[in-house]
Structure 1
Amino acid sequence: MWDSIDFASLFREFITIAVVVDPVGTIPVFLAATVGMRAVTRRRIAIRAVLTAGGVLLFFLVLGQIVLETLGLALGTFQIAGGIVLFLFALTMIFGQSKAELELESMEESSRIDRARDKAVFPLAIPSIASPGAMLAVVILTDNHRTSLVEQTVTAGLLMGVLLLTLLLLLAAGPIQRWIGTAGASLVSRVMGIILSTVAVDAVLKGLAVMGLVSLDA
């Protein structure tokens, strides 16, 4: 039974999902969103944020490709476009402000104009956990024409594992932030950007292969 399992592929998918979700980069955002709150309130916000993000990402995992095909869009073209977007997203992680810094600025701007938002939904669930990159990634990883229902279920399980890791990190956000600091979270985010850029290039190549424009056999 174990011989039929491609552990390298599973590990690669897990890393891909972990990179685009970026649990570590969410910690500073969570701390800023819940500053001054009681521990029980912070736990509730963490749980609600992860559940909301999980619902959004599962929606894209199950129905994302169906919506695309209903619009007459081939998954190959979406993989290419998604890979390009992921690559640009990776470049912002590497050379621009880190994910945490960008989302903290967005949150501060919202507070300045006194917009009433549920912090568990914004900025935590969206766009910090269920980022545009994560939405694109789960669609790309679950091509209905190339992956079986069992394989898609495994991918969903890997997604749940990453979200569980995210929840555990948020629940331990205080000690982790004191340990690595904002600079440490920014460094991790940039390293993940480098990994994501490689994943993005691979997605473009696979999209070209699906459309018969290149061969990946060599």
Structure 2
Amino acid sequence: MFTEFATAALVTMLVTLDPPGLAPIFLSLTRGMSAAERRQVAVRASIIAFCIIGFFGVAGDVVLKALGVSLPAFRIAGGLLLFWIAFEMVFERRTERKQQTAETAITKDHIRNVAAFPLAIPLMAGPGALTATILLAGRAHGDAVLLITLAVICGLVILCCLAVFLAASSISKLLGITGNVVLTRLLGVILAALAVQFVIDGVKAAMAG
């Protein structure tokens, strides 16, 4: 149970946050900044994203109950949302959408601190990541060990994003255009399979209830 949960959580969070996919966007958002300024933006964005994801992991179920939404229903809806994200990744639509979101936000709101928006929200702690966190927290069924494991895994994935940000230039040159495309599509296929599993679990829970 523990190993299965930890593995599913790690893969799901890695795929939904997609650290390698954020590298080129981070470079575009911080264009013209010095290395120290980029490092400051990367650290601040990672902290903000972790706080938001952690909040939804802890209070997401409470919010659902307040809205009268059952966890099985959210699992099905969340699985469908994750599947759509996977579809976008496989057919190279997610990167384009993320870039458009970033460019629109900066142009429209004249954002000075890109760490909070759009880097942390919605590029890191976006709908997919928040949905996955709530679903995984629900799968823990209140088990303190599993919830702590989920928090640690979220922290590790955020650290992966931070490491990617700090090494964005090198990673982009190393992977190249072909490498980025192949990696994104591979992660998309994995996410699609996990999304289908979320839907199956939701349907089973709804029928059992």
TM-score, length-normalised on structure 1? Answer: 0.88
RMSD of equivalent CA atoms: 2.0
Whether the aligned pair in 2 keeps the contact of 1:57 and 1:134 (CA below 8 Å) is yes
Q: Distance in 2 between matches of 1:103 and 1:167?
A: 18
Q: Distance in 2 between matches of 1:67 and 1:111?
A: 30
In the TM superposition, 1:40-55 aligns within 5 A as: 40-55=36-51
Q: Which runs of 5+ in 2 are unaligned?
A: none
Q: Distance in 2 between matches of 1:197 and 1:180?
A: 23
Of the three residues 120, 126, 131, the one matched with 2:126 is 131
1:26 aligned to 2:33?
Answer: no
- How many residue pairs get aligned? The number is 209
Quote the residue 2:179 is aligned against. 184
Quote the residue 2:205 is aligned against. 210
Q: Distance in 1 between matches of 2:39 and 2:77?
A: 37
What secondary structure is seen at the aligned counterpart in 2 of 1:143? helix
Whether the aligned pair in 2 keeps the contact of 1:65 and 1:144 (CA below 8 Å) is no
Would the alpha carbon gap of residues 170 and 145 (structure 1) be closer, same or farther in structure 2, given more than 3 Å must change?
A: closer
What secondary structure is seen at the aligned counterpart in 1 of 2:207? coil
Rg (Cα) greater in structure: 1
Q: Which runs of 5+ in 1 are unaligned?
A: none
Aligned-pair distance for 1:26?
A: 0.6
Q: Distance in 1 between matches of 2:200 and 2:20?
A: 29
In the TM superposition, 1:25-174 aligns within 5 A as: 25-99=21-95, 101-113=96-108, 115-143=110-138, 146-174=141-169
Q: Distance in 2 between matches of 1:97 and 1:125?
A: 20
Aligned-pair distance for 1:8?
A: 3.7
Whether the aligned pair in 1 keeps the contact of 2:76 and 2:198 (CA below 8 Å) is yes
Whether the aligned pair in 1 keeps the contact of 2:53 and 2:125 (CA below 8 Å) is yes
Whether the aligned pair in 1 keeps the contact of 2:5 and 2:146 (CA below 8 Å) is no
Aligned-pair distance for 1:110?
A: 3.9
Give the partner amino acid of 1:11: T
Output one character per residue of 1:59-113: Cα deviation in whole Å (capped at 9) or x when no partner: 11000111001111110100011111111111111124243x3222232334444
Aligned-pair distance for 1:131?
A: 1.8
